[in-house]
Structure 1
C-alpha cells in the first residue's frame, strides 16, 4: 500500500544557516556591487624560502628527484605562503588579466571554505570529475543532523514530516536555481546517469521513432540508444567536428531529416549535451527550441554545464534536464535530479514499479495504481532524505559564486593554454604538449558574462621526438607532485575519437572488443590528460599545472620521473605503449 500525505509540521526543528551562508546570500543579491569593490580582499602573500621559520606541512611529499621548487607550508594565517617564483608569476598574470581581481570574493571563500587544499598541499584540477565541497556546507549539514530527528518520508510521524518538508524545500530550491516555470517538477535520482536512464527506459520508443544525439556525448546519453533499438526505433548520430561539440548547421539538417512524422503516434527524442566533458565544447541551447518546433521531445544533459554556467529553464524550456549535485558543489554524492515538465513526465511509462511509486498493488493479480504525485511515480524506493537538506544549502552557496566563475575560470584557462603552448623541450625545442580541446574564443571582462566554452583543457604530453607520452606515466608523475587530474576517455568515446583523430579506427571495432584490443589497434594508450577548473580554483592551481609541465620539458627531471614510474608499475622502459 502507499503512504498517507503529510500534514503541517508542528513546531518542527528549524534549520539555521552559518555566517558564511548568510554572507553568500547577500553576495548573490549584489554581485555587481561586490565586483566593483577594490581588490583589498584579494589574497596577500608572505614570501618565504625553504629555511622559513614556519614549520613545513608534514603531509607534503617531496619527490625523490628533488625537482619540486618549493614546499607549501602549513596554513598558519589568512595569508597565503608562496614562493618568489609563484609571486612573480602571479604579478605577471594580473598585469595580463587585471579582470581577475574582480573575482576576489572567491579568494576569500578559498581561505574560509577550502582550507584543506592549503594544509594538504594538494593541487586539485579534476572538478569535472567532482567538485570539492565547501567546508561550511558540511558544518551546516552536520549540525542539522545532530539536532534533528528524521524518518522515512513514507509515513506521517513528526520525523517523517520533517524529512518530507526538507525534500520539498530541496525541490523548490532546484526549481528556483534553474528558474523553472510552474510546469516543472523535480525527480530525485542517484545522479545524472540515473536521470537519463529514467527517461530512456520510460520513453515510448516504437518502430518509426527516432533517437537523435551528438557523437560528443557522455556514455549515459549513448546508453539510451539501447532502449530505443530494442523497441525498433532508429538511432541517428550528429557527427562531431575535429574539436568536438556540434556543428549547428549539420545538427539542424539532421534534426530536420529525421523529424517526427506523426508526433503523437511515433514520438522522437533529441538528447543535447550542454557541455562536453572532454572537448570543452558548449552547444547552443537554441537547438532545443529548434528541435521542439519540429515535434521532438527534448532532454538536456547538464551534468557538465550546470556547475559553472547559468541555465534558465524559463529561457530554454527543455522537456527534461539531468544534473548531478556533487558536480555542482561537491556534496552530497549519490544524489542527482531530473528537472522535468509535468506534461512530459505524464508521457513516460515506467516498465516496472517499486516501493514509493504506487498507491495500490493487487497481489496476486495485475492491477497497479500509481502514486498520485507524478514525481513519486519515478522515485523508486526511499529517497536519500538524510542528504536532501544539503542540496538546499549547496544551491544557496553556488548561487552566490556562480556570477564570478565564468570570468575567473576563463582567465585561468587562457593563462594555462598560452603558457603550455609556449613550452618547448630543452633539448631540441619541440612542443611539450598538444592541446586538443576547444579554448575560449572570447575574453570575458566583467562579472556575469557567460563563457563560450567550459573550463576544461584536454591535452596529450609529447616526447622530444613528438610521440605521445603514456597517460599512465603522466598521471603517476602528477600524483607524485600532489596534482589531482584525470586521464582517459572520460566516458565520452565520441568526443575522444574526434579530438584524437581515431574516428576511422572506431569504425573497425567489433563485438567483444576490449580496451586493450583497441589500444593495440591504435598503437598507443587511448585518452587524454584532462585539467578542469571549478568552484575553488585559483591562480596557484593553474601555476602548479604549468610548473609540472615545465618539469616535463626538462630531460633530466623527466627521466627521473619516468624511472620512478617504470619502477612503481613494473613496466620496462621501452615496453610502455
Structure 2
C-alpha cells in the first residue's frame, strides 16, 4: 500500500470524526498564530502556544487599568485584589468546583506546588513503635513528584514507589474498614496523565486509595490523602473535581494557555487543608505576629496562609484573558480533547503502519494501548525510529534532522525516569552504568552500547493541524525510511476497525467549563404571582412610608415607584443586576462614576428591565424568572462586598451598550434568584 495514498485527510476522517472547532479553523490559525507559519510545532506537552488575542487583550488591560499591590487598600490595590479573587473563582470554575470545596494557592509552577505539599504535609516519622507516614508514588511520575522524597527522607519518612500493575494486582476486594485508632497520615501521588506516554490513569484511583481498596493503601493503616499531578492532563483534557475530589492538585498554567510562564497553582480540597502546616511565614500570611516574641497566628483564609509575599498579580490577571481566548476559540475542553486526540490517533496509526522497503517496521512506539479512546490516552506519542535492519536510530539524530525541517519536538527521558526505564527496558544497573559512561539527564548521548537512553516525543495542542501531522510523517518517510516507502495494510485495517468499538460520544463536561446547576422541580413564577405571594409594601403602625426607590442595577440610578412587590430578599429585583469589567470584577461608583448616569427601570407588565442613558438608545433585557433562561445562560461567579455570588450573563447586546457608554469593556450580570449572600446571612443571624 502506497504511503502517500493513505496519508490523506480522508484517512484521518476514517480514523476520527472531530477536527477543529466552530468556524473556519484555518482562518483562526492565521489570525491567532501567524508566527508559526512554516513551523511544525509538536512539543505542546512541554509548553503550548499562546494566541495573539491573549497578549493583545492583556496588554490593553494593563495599559488602561492601574493595578497596585493587593496588600494595600487604595483604589488601585482593591482593583488588583478583586481581580485576583475573580481569577481564583474562574480557575475553580474551569475544574467544575467552587470555593466551598477547594482553594487556589498560586505558586511559581507545578514543581513549586509539589514542593509546598512536601514541606508542609504533617508527616509522622518512623519510630521503634510506629511505622510512621509513607510517601507513595507511581513509578510513572515526573521528577518533581519523585523529588519530594528528597525532603521526606530527612524527616524519617519512608518512600514507597509503586508500579501501575501493583495498584490493582495487589488490591483487596471491598472497602476496608475505617481505621479509627490509627490516624497516621500517608500521601499517595500519581499522574492523571503520563507526561512520557500520554497514558491516562483512572481518576477513580482517588477514591480507591481513600477507601483503601488499592495498593498500597490496603496494606497500610492510617489516613490516606491523594495528590493528583494534573499538569500534563489538563493541557488538553477536562478535569472535573466534582467527580474526582483529589486532596491536592498541582498545575502549571503555561501548559494550558502558553502564557504567562512561571505561574502555577496548588488546588487544595478545603477539608484536607488541615493536614498542611506552615513553619515559615512571609508577608500577607499572618493574622498577627510579634517580632520580639515567638508568637504567630496564621491567616484564616487558606490561600492567604500559603502565599508568601505578594503574588505575581499581573501574571494572574493574564490568566483571565487566557480563559477568554481559550473558550472563545475552542468552545470547551471537551472539544480540545477530541481534536487533539484525533491528531494523535492518526499519527500513531500511520507511524505504526509505516514500513521500510524490506517490510520491517519504521517505529517502535511506547504506549499501553492502541489509542482506542481519549478517555485512556492523551495527545502524546512516544517512540523511537528503527532503521531497515531493526536497529534503533538515536534520538539526537532524529532531533537534529527535525530541526533542519523546522519541526519542533522533544527527545530524551522527559523528566520521567520511571516510565523511560519501563518502556525501554533499562535496568537500575544500566542507568548507573550510563552515568559512568558520561550520560546525564538532558544531554545528547542517545545510545550507550547500542541501547537507547531515551526516545522521541511528539505532542499536540488545540491549535495543532492535520498539516502538522502530514509534515511530520512526510519528514520521517523522507529521512528515515528505506525506499520504497510502504504501509502495512493489515495493521492499518486493524487500527481502522478499532475505531468502531471506541468511537462513542464521551460524556460532555460542563459547557465552557462552567458549572451548570441542575434545576429540578422548580416552578415558574411571574411577576404577578410574586406580588400575590409576597404582598405589597404598605404603611406600618406608627410610621409613614413616603417614598419607595428601587435600584435594579448596583451603583446605577434608582427609579421611584408608588407600590412594589416584596420578594424573599426584599424589594423585588432590587440590586438584582450589576455591571462587571472585562475581568469580571464588579464596578461601583468609586471605580466608575458614570454608573450613576445609567437609569434602569423594571417594567413588570412586559417582564423587562430597561436601561437608559443620555445620548444612548434604550435597550431591554428580560426579567426571566423561569428555569429555561438560567439553564441556557452562561453561569459565572462574582464578588459583592467580599461575598462570592453566582450570577448569569445577560448577553452581548447589554454588554455592548454598557461598554460604549462607560468607555471600557463591561458586561451586565444578574445574581441567581434565591441566592442569599453569606455576609447578609451572618447579619440576619446577628453574628
The TM-score range, normalised by the shorter chain, is 0.7 to 0.9
Pair 382,128 (structure 1): closer, same or farther in 2 beyond 3 Å: same
Contact 2:394 2:447 in 1 (8 A): no
Structure 2 CA distance for aligned equivalents of residues 510 and 234 of structure 1: 27
Q: Specify whether residues 380 and 236 from structure 1 end up closer, same or farther in structure 2 by C-alpha distance, changes over 3 A only.
A: same
Q: Where do residues 32-43 of structure 1 align in structure 2 (5 Å cutoff)?
A: none
Does residue 369 of structure 1 match 2:297? Answer: yes
Where 2:18 maps in the other structure, the secondary structure is: helix
Q: 1:344 to 1:546 in 2, by over 3 A?
A: same
Task: Write the deviation string for residues 360-417 of structure 1: whole angstroms up to 9, x where unpaired.
Answer: 3322432222223221111122111012122123224434241212222222122211
Secondary structure class of the residue paired with 2:458: strand
> 1:543 maps to what in 2?
470
Partner residue, 1:276? 194
Structure 1 counterpart of 2:356 = 425
Deviations 1:323-382 (A, max 9, x none): 111001111111111111223222211232222222433224322222232211111221
Matched, 1:473 2:397: yes
Considering Cα pairs closer than 8 Å and 6+ residues apart, tell me whether 1 or 2 has the greater RCO. 1
Counterpart in 2 of 1:404? 335
Shift in Å, 1:525: 4.8
Higher helix proportion (structure 1 or 2): 1
Q: Deviations over 1:41-91 (max 9, x none)?
A: xxxxxxxxxxxxxxxxxxxxxxxxxxxxxxxxxxxxxxxxxxxx9999444
Q: How far apart, in 1, do the equivalents of 2:104 and 2:190 lie? A: 19
Aligned CA distance change for structure 1 residues 505 and 423 (closer, same or farther; 3 Å): farther
Give the 3 Å change call, closer, same or farther, for CA 271–101 of structure 1 in structure 2: closer
Q: CA deviation at 1:107?
A: 4.3
1:139 aligns with 2:63: no
Q: Which moved more, 1:524-533 or 1:387-396?
A: 387-396
Mapped pair 1:497 → 2:421: yes
- Flag the 1:298–1:343 CA change in 2: closer, same or farther, 3 A: same
Q: Does structure 2 retain, via aligned residues, the 8 Å contact 1:94–1:101?
A: no
Deviates more, 1:542-551 or 1:392-401: 392-401
Preserved contact between residue 434 and residue 459 of structure 1 (Cα < 8 Å): yes
Question: In structure 1, how many angstroms separate the alpha carbons of the residues matched to 2:6 and 2:478?
Answer: 18
After TM superposition, the structure 1 stretch with the greater mean CA deviation from structure 2, 496-505 or 181-190, is: 496-505
Match of 2:42 in 1: 125
SS at match of 2:48: coil
Q: Hey, what does 2:138 align to over in structure 1?
A: 214
SS in 1 for 2:233: coil
**Counterpart in the other structure of 1:199:** 117
Indicate which of 15, 30, 34 corresponds to 1:111.
30
Gap change, CA 1:403 and 1:231, over 3 Å in 2: same
Q: 2:77 matched to 1:150?
A: no
Q: 1:98 to 1:345 in 2, by over 3 A?
A: closer
- Indicate conservation of the 8 Å contact 2:348/2:371, yes or no: no
User: 1:465/1:186 Cα in 2 relative to 1: closer, same or farther (>3 Å)?
Assistant: same
The question of whether the paired residues in 2 share the 8 Å contact of 1:171 and 1:186 is answered with: yes
CA distance in 1, matches of 2:191, 2:294: 39
- Please point out which of 170, 177, 184 is paired with 2:87: 170
More strand by share: 2
Distance 2:288 2:370 in 1: 54
Q: Structure 1, residues 254-296: CA drift from partner, whole Å, max 9, x if none?
A: 9999x978553x2111112100000221110111012122331
Rounded to whole Å, the distance in 2 between the matches of 1:477 and 1:511 is 26
CA displacement 1:156-189 (0-9 Å, x = unmatched): 1111111111110110001111111412110000
Deviations 1:290-336 (A, max 9, x none): 21223311111000011211111111111111111100111111111
**2:104 maps to what in 1?**
186
Distance 1:471 1:254 in 2: 44
Q: CA RMSD in A?
A: 3.1
Deviations 1:236-268 (A, max 9, x none): 12124xxxxx565136459999x978553x211
Question: Unpaired runs of 5+ in structure 1?
Answer: 1-84, 241-245, 444-449, 559-577
Q: Which residue of 1 aligns with 2:169?
A: 250
Equivalent in 67, 71, 78 of residue 161 of structure 1: 78
The SS at the match of 1:100 is coil
Pair member with larger Rg: 2
Q: How does 1:199-348 map to 2 (within 5 A)?
A: 199-206=117-124, 207=126, 208-240=132-164, 248-250=167-169, 252=171, 263-264=182-183, 266-294=184-212, 295-348=223-276
Superposed counterparts of 1:389-538, under 5 Å: 389-399=317-327, 400-426=331-357, 428-442=358-372, 450-505=374-429, 515-516=439-440, 523-538=450-465
Rate the CA distance shift 1:364–1:98 in 2: closer, same or farther, 3 A: closer
Determine the structure 2 residue equivalent to 1:21.
Answer: none
Q: Secondary structure at the match of 2:308?
A: coil
Query: CA offsets per residue over residues 114-167 of structure 1, 9 Å max, x none?
Result: 22222xx11000000011111111111011011011111111111111111111
Partners of 1:270 and 1:254 in 2: how far apart? 19
**How many residue pairs align between the two structures?**
459
Q: Aligned-pair distance for 1:492?
A: 0.5
SS of residue paired to 1:99: coil
Unaligned runs of 5+ residues in structure 2 are 127-131, 213-222, 486-687
| 1:99 positional shift | 1.3
Give TM-score scaled by structure 1 length. 0.73
Distance 2:179 2:236 in 1: 34
